[in-house]
Amino acid sequence: MKYASLLLLIPAFAAAQSSSQGNAENGKRLFMRDSCWECHGTVGQGSRDGARIAATSLSLQGVIRYVRRPAGAMPAFSEKVVSDRDLTDIYAYLKSLPPPKPSKDIPLLNQAKNE
Amino acid sequence: MAKAKTGKASGHSSKPSGHGRRGFLKGVAAGAAALVAKPSAVSAQQAQTGPARRPAAPLPSATQVAFETGTPPETAQVYHTDRPGADFMVDVLKSLNFDYIFANPGSSFRGLQESFINYGGNKDPEWITCCHEESSIAMAHGYFKIEGKPILCMAHGTVGLQHASMAIYNAYADRVPVYLILGNEQDIAFRRSDVEWTHSVQDAASMVRDYTKWDDTPVTLRHFAESAVRAYKIAMTPPMEPVVIVAGGALQEEPMPEEDRKALRIPKLATTTPPAGDPNAVAELAKMLVNAQNPVIVAGRVARTPNGIGLLTELAETIQAPVQDRRFRMNFPTRHPLYNSGSVPEADLVLGLEVPDFWYVTHAQTPINRMGMESHSTVKPGTKLATITASDLFSRSNYQDFGRYAEVDLAIAADAEATLPSLIEACKKLITPDRKRAMEERGKRLAERHKQNRDRDFEAAAAGFDASPVSTARMAAELWNQIRHEDWSLVSDLTFVSWWPLRLWEFDKHYQYIGGHGAYGIGYGAPAAVGAALANKKHGRLTVNIQCDGDLNYAPGVLWTAAHHNIPLLNIMHNNRGYHQERMFLADMACRAGRDVEKTHIGVALDHPNINYATMAKAYGMYSAGPIENPNDLGPAIKAALEVVKKGEPALIDLVTQPR
């Protein structure tokens, strides 16, 4: 019986990772493969070359639109380079990343800011 | 006095036993007299028939005849001299008060090197051994930006200069004087082997003439003295730039001529006063600044001396104008309310102070992600533009570091720092009570914006704070935690680490930040840090360098120079395992062509295998730690490395980081 309940859990878990909104695990792989990390950082934290996109507040459609026709200097990724399907997985990865803590909760930053 | 074959007089010398040099030459002279007698006989004969015809060319001397028709006569067996020409050169160069000589050795300046070491006592200047000529120049570049004094560098006039050339261009573009002496042998008679032929050149400085300010090839010691002093004066006149003197090998190594010993003197150096702006133009600019509703000052390389920071702060505070810092130097205190709190698109007056790329301050272009090129102004119609820059007094044309032509309303051709005192006074005289009130209101708004910018930076730093590879914000925060109470100096360019130290730390002293390469020639970073650290050493400062991996790989031997000469320096690697800027550009190109970005690591990634910079540093005799990938390991590693650096030694931490 114990094992049967575990078996019931597995599909639920798998569903969370591979929802219709994308597969975060595959999204992480694509995020690295398609060079997104080069400007946005490996955890989407952002840099001088790319915005912070971890836990983005944009919708999936908003991200797809932006990736195809970016307003700034970001390379424009066409469907040939990264498909909507792949972007859906990448989006799932970004949404799976935790938002950053407030700087006041990080002692090193809190100290640097307020000294 | 008998002369040597090359026309140089011999000096005091010890003679070998046997056939003396003067005796030999007497014999040659007698033979030459016999040769000369023949043309007279011919002339006598011609006198009977008509006027003598002048020979088409002078008759050869006896020495030349002997040299060209038989076995060359045995030259003088002179083994020693008590005064090679290089000794006098050392006297001249010492008068210029260099602290050090940075050089990778070269036979073409062996005479000078030996004279500096022995005759000069290897002191003031002291010889610093470099493993690459590019390192020696870049070390001089970093040294100057801390100490404000040029360094004497030496190199072969051919292969050495070829190595050094990128670093010279960097210094040129960054307005830094480097004093470079090239060894060369102009006289073919003194080239003793094929090595010395391949190391000789007709015009040694020509290779770098497009990015140096002045050069000369003296032919006598008197000439050397004047040119050496003149070169220093020119180098140190704003805009300051590298200069080159070519020192002939024989001029260095052969004995100083007897007559020169009594006659030679060292010319007095008179340094120029830096050019200040025309008073009428300064008055006009003051009026513009005081009357503007939203003036913005853009700072390039304003603070040429430590005084520059105080002067720029006084100007900004007088008129309550924000200072947008282009980060070419330490120009303005980073926690001042007027630091980076302005907006060029909102301005009605933009003043550029020693800004090399002023056009880019006021324009935007089509970005690389789309085809074609259009540009447009980013300032409002009617906005006034003004510049003060010494670059308007001097520029070359071949290398395009001067940037796009900037259409401005007022261009003051002068050194910005030298002009600031009169500009500040002129502004003060014009400020009425009404203007003062308006400025104070503006100041309050700018202070609020500065605070918001700062808050935003700290929240941005929190993103990815615990990530592996380690975030560059985390690196900056960990470093600041341990150096903030020291007398520290950060000597690296910060572009590739998203400027985190400038955004999180508190900078207010001129030596705390020295800008970057000048011409974006990568390979500047490691040696410039060593040079800057050497300048800081006598002041007891803690020097920190955030070292990019690609940069270090060009000439890592500079790590040995730091270890060998006990130069205290904390190097912390920004090891993102590649030439990351070019990697991003390749992704840009692939996207433009609608092609696979997956292969854009080819030719740019530095992995498989990963380079272990801790092992590299150890190989050069330097304390090291790492590679570190866990951010929690970084604090303890910095603590241990700082203990080494505070004892007067360099250290390196290999930190694997986020790409930017």
- Cross-chain CB nearest to A101 (options B462, B467, B478): B462
CA B358 – CA B385 distance, rounded (Å): 10
User: Where residue B31 falls among pLDDT bands split at 50, 70, 90?
Assistant: very low
What are the φ/ψ torsions at residue A34 (nearest 5 degrees)? -90, 15
Q: Residue B395 carries which DSSP code? A: -
Bridging pattern class, strands B650-655 and B569-574: parallel
- Is A93 in CB contact (< 8 Å) with chain B? no
Q: Count CB atoms within 10 A of the CB of residue B26.
A: 12
The count of CB pairs under 8 A between chains A and B is: 128
**Looking at beta carbons, which residues of chain A come within 8 Å of B462?**
100-103, 105-106, 109
- Is B607 in CB contact (< 8 Å) with chain A? no
**Looking at beta carbons, which residues of chain B come within 8 Å of A111?**
481
Tell me if A35 and B597 make a contact (CB, 8 A cut-off): yes
> pLDDT value at position B72?
56
Q: Where are the domains of chain A?
A: 17-114
Strands of the sheet containing B214-216, edge to edge, are B126-129, B100-103, B152-156, B179-184, B243-248, B214-216
> pLDDT value at position B76?
67
What are the φ/ψ torsions at residue B3 (nearest 5 degrees)? -105, 145
Q: What is the mean pLDDT of residues B421-436?
A: 98
The answer, yes or no, to whether ipTM is higher than 0.95 is no
> pLDDT value at position B73?
52
- Cross-chain CB nearest to B465 (options A37, A52, A100): A100
User: Where residue B8 falls among pLDDT bands split at 50, 70, 90?
Assistant: very low
| Whether pLDDT at A11 is above 60 | no
CA B145 – CA B510 distance, rounded (Å): 9
**Looking at beta carbons, which residues of chain B come within 8 Å of A94?**
none
Higher pLDDT, B30 or A29: A29
| Whether pLDDT at B16 is above 50 | no
Q: Work out the mean pLDDT of chain B and round it to a whole number.
A: 92
Could you read off the pLDDT of B371-411 as tens digits, one per residue?
A: 999 999 999 999 999 999 999 999 999 999 999 999 999 99
Which ranges in B117-220 belong to alpha helices (H)? 133-147, 159-173, 194-198
Instruction: Kindly identify which residue of chain A lies nearest to residue B464, measuring between CA atoms.
Output: A45
| Whether pLDDT at B617 is above 90 | yes
Report the topology of domain A17-114: Cytochrome Bc1 Complex; Chain D, domain 2 (1.10.760)
- Cross-chain CB nearest to A33 (options B469, B583, B598): B598
* Residue B419 CB contacts under 8 Å (≥ 6 apart), including other chains: B276, B277, B282, B388, B412
Tell me if B595 and A81 make a contact (CB, 8 A cut-off): yes
Question: From the candidates B335, B368, B369, which should be mutated to test the interface with A, based on the most A CB atoms within 10 A?
Answer: B369
Tell me if B597 and A101 make a contact (CB, 8 A cut-off): no
- Is B587 in CB contact (< 8 Å) with chain A? yes
Tell me if A100 and B464 make a contact (CB, 8 A cut-off): yes
- Is B467 in CB contact (< 8 Å) with chain A? yes
- Is A71 in CB contact (< 8 Å) with chain B? no
**Looking at beta carbons, which residues of chain B come within 8 Å of A45?**
463-464, 467, 471, 473, 658
Domains present along chain B, CATH in parentheses: 21-69 (no CATH), 85-263 (3.40.50.970), 279-445 (3.40.50.1220), 463-655 (3.40.50.970)
Could you read off the pLDDT of B141-199 as tens digits, one per residue?
A: 999 999 999 999 999 999 999 999 999 999 999 999 999 999 999 999 999 999 999 99
Tell me if B583 and A38 make a contact (CB, 8 A cut-off): yes
Per-residue tokens: B223? 């000439």
Tell me if A100 and B467 make a contact (CB, 8 A cut-off): no
Could you write out the DSSP letters of every residue in B500-519?
Answer: HHHHHS---SGGGB----SS
Instruction: Kindly identify which residue of chain B lies nearest to residue A32, measuring between CA atoms.
Output: B598
- Is B481 in CB contact (< 8 Å) with chain A? yes
Tell me if B370 and A76 make a contact (CB, 8 A cut-off): yes
CB proximity under 8 Å: B 629-658 to A? 658
Q: Count CB atoms within 10 A of the CB of residue B473.
A: 31
> pLDDT value at position B658?
98
